[in-house]
A and B are shown apart, each in its own frame.
Chain A
Amino acid sequence: KQEVTQIPAALSVPEGENLVLNCSFTDSAIYNLQWFRQDPGKGLTSLLLIQSSQREQTSGRLNASLDKSSGRSTLYIAASQPGDSATYLCAVSGGAQKLVFGQGTRLTINP
């Protein structure tokens, strides 16, 4: 059974710093990996989707990497801003379990 783990559970950094969020998964037979952002009381917003054949995807200040063989993905946020404060979730898809989510990392950017 696929399990997705995100470390740390919470992170607080000053504005302007570059930061990395981590995601690991137990079964490397995935179809793709997605990073989502969730703001309090709101739904999920898809940030980046990496296909299993890809190594990374970039969107603006966000860069996500995927190392399928080691079961790891990272989300890099450059020049963090207070508006980046949210919970970030990674999710892997593939096989019978469809989309399996991690518990998320709650990010706070301090002005």
Chain B
Amino acid sequence: DAGVIQSPRHEVTEMGQEVTLRCKPISGHDYLFWYRQTMMRGLELLIYFNNNVPIDDSGMPEDRFSAKMPNASFSTLKIQPSEPRDSAVYFCASSFGGIYNEQFFGPGTRLTVL
């Protein structure tokens, strides 16, 4: 298996623009997680899905952030409008069988908002 796939790997955009990050989980995994990593706050869980349904989005920082999972093999995290403080590395992870089971992470998307 190719593992969790994220695109793009790097994104540079200007403040106010819409940003869409993409994730393809490992085939057969039924949980998908979006995390954000910054120097100040470390790794934080933003939202997670089970069987394509959003279960807990309490970590989403603001209404500017939204996430969707239209099918079992694809998820998006959208920021609209983007702000410089959104600059971070965004990771997608997936797991099978339970929220607390081993998670497999993608390589991340490094977002820079100017």
Contact of B45 among A32, A41, A49, A98 (CB under 8 A): A98
Among A32, A43, A89, max chain B CB count under 10 A is at: A43
Chain A residues within 8 Å of B100, by CB: 31-32, 93-94, 98-99
In the complex, A46→B26 CA distance in Å? 15
Interface string of B85-114 (1 = CB under 8 A from A): 000000101000001101111111010000
Which residues of B does A touch, CB under 8 Å? 4, 33, 42-45, 48, 56, 91, 93, 99-100, 102-108, 110
Which residues of A does B touch, CB under 8 Å? 31-32, 34, 36, 41-46, 49, 89, 91, 93-94, 97-99, 101-104
12 contacts between A and B (CB under 8 A): A32-B100, A34-B102, A43-B4, A43-B91, A43-B106, A46-B102, A93-B99, A94-B100, A99-B45, A99-B100, A101-B44, A102-B42
Apart from A99-B45, A101-B44, 16 more pairs, CB < 8 Å: A42-B107, A43-B105, A43-B106, A44-B91, A44-B105, A46-B102, A46-B103, A46-B104, A46-B105, A91-B43, A97-B45, A98-B33, A99-B33, A99-B103, A101-B42, A101-B43
Min distance, Cβ B88 to any Cβ of chain A, angstroms: 14
Chain A residues within 8 Å of B110, by CB: 41
Q: Which residue of B lies closest to A98 (CB)?
A: B45
